[in-house]
Structure 1
Amino acid sequence: MLQTAPDSSELTGVAAWAVGLMETVGAPGAGLAIAAENLFPPIPSEVILPLAGFTAAAGGFTLVEAILWTTIGSVVGAFALYALGRLLGHDRLAAIAGRMPLVRASDITKTTAWFARHGTKAVFFGRFLPIFRSLISIPAGIERMSIPLFLLLTLIGSAIWNTLFIMVGYTLGQNYHVIEPYMDTLQWVIIGLVLVAIVWWVVARIRLNRREGKHLLHGE
């Protein structure tokens, strides 16, 4: 018996947008949604991927297509950020950072130095961490990590992550309405954590700038 596909009219927020995209263009829509998730980290793949599994279980497209297209979307989104880092390079990004409020040129230097020590592991294991999976692509580009190696690590890590969550959605099938409220909650929890992290970082940076200003004022 064919299962009922998740209806975008019954969902809210990111979930409704993702399902609507899949309903419009099929499996490539799932890939587009995941590519957007890489470029705009607050869009959680933990919500989009199970919905791709639900849609596959309902016959909207096959399970293989869901995994294939979402993995392509992950790689495309990650490579776009990699290309940005590679195109601008360390010096340009540092110059841009130096003109931005609450951002320092030294932040770029520290990030690229850290990546130089842990780059290969960071690119692979970073695919399993929200937000970080997007940001790690930029220093990879700055450090001009081998493109084939970057794509391979991103492909393998993304395929594992995407398959896991798609299989959850595929297995649950028509019971999507039972867990959808929890996914919506997860979406807001993730966004909330990101906002808290941003606020904490801004406050810490303001305090640091004030301390350094005092040292300069006293000639220390």
Structure 2
Amino acid sequence: MSSDWIKNIIESLGYGGIALLMFVENLFPPIPSELIMPLAGYTANLPDSRLNILGVFFAGLFGSVTGALIWYYPGKFWGERRLKVFARKYGKWIGVSSKDISKAKRWFETQGNKAVFIGRLVPGVRTLISVPAGMSNMSLLPFLFYTTLGSAAWVGLLTYSGYMLGSQYELVDKYLAPVSKIVLGILVLAFVAWILKRKCRNSRI
């Protein structure tokens, strides 16, 4: 994916542009934080840059946490059935399907509140983990705590990687992609193991 338009927004709007991009990234999963934050980190390392790495980090963190709240409240007030209907009608425009919602809900049920923290570190899960948190009536303060913690780790990793790699910042996305698939595979296996364990336990009762 070309990063030219991301670069233009960051150069034009500065910290506000970074926050906006990360906010939108949490609403529309196809927009990659793996490009946004490394590019912002790289920009902060340029000699004539008006950005600094701490400002870039906090701008990205603010946008990420704010975007996560947008998914939390529909989960809390709409519920699973209405969200799935919405996803079937409009999900193709935002890259979210009813199956994605079900997957995120099952993941939350297996991990509890810590799923919010872990989920924020996993591409493909990080955006939608807010939905089951809302559906399960997770309190706002714990949700914000775990979301901020997970988002800070993710945003910090991407920002620092771009800062250190310089003009090779796109390598972050290249090398994270296979790692993300491995992590996602491990999570799927853990979920399957949890299901089997529950079935074995129920069969003994």
Same topology, TM > 0.5: yes
Residue of structure 2 aligned with 1:63, choices 53, 74, 90: 53
Aligned to 1:32: 20
Aligned identity (percent) is: 40
Q: For the Cα contact (< 8 Å) 1:30–1:70, is it kept in 2?
A: yes
Q: For the Cα contact (< 8 Å) 1:42–1:131, is it kept in 2?
A: no
Residue of structure 1 aligned with 2:64, choices 48, 58, 74: 74
Query: Kindly tell me: are residues 163 and 110 of structure 1, through their superposed partners in 2, closer, same or farther at Cα, counting changes over 3 Å?
Result: closer
Aligned to 1:115: 108
Deviations 1:90-119 (A, max 9, x none): 34335657889xxx9999678646524423
Using the alignment, how far apart are the partners of 1:97 and 1:24 within structure 2?
Answer: 33
Matches within 5 A, 1:132-211: 132-173=125-166, 176=167, 179=168, 182=171
Which of the two has higher C-alpha Rg?
1
Q: For the Cα contact (< 8 Å) 2:19–2:63, is it kept in 1?
A: yes
> Offset of 1:70 from its aligned partner?
0.2
Q: 2:122 matched to 1:129?
A: yes
Say how many residue pairs are matched.
171
Using the alignment, how far apart are the partners of 1:65 and 1:162 within structure 2?
Answer: 12
TM-score where L is the length of structure 1 = 0.66
Structure 2: 5+ residue runs without aligned partners? 91-96, 182-205
Query: Kindly tell me: are residues 132 and 45 of structure 1, through their superposed partners in 2, closer, same or farther at Cα, counting changes over 3 Å?
Result: same
> Offset of 1:172 from its aligned partner?
2.6
Q: For the Cα contact (< 8 Å) 2:100–2:128, is it kept in 1?
A: no
TM-score where L is the length of structure 2 = 0.71
RMSD of aligned alpha carbons: 3.1
> Offset of 1:50 from its aligned partner?
0.7
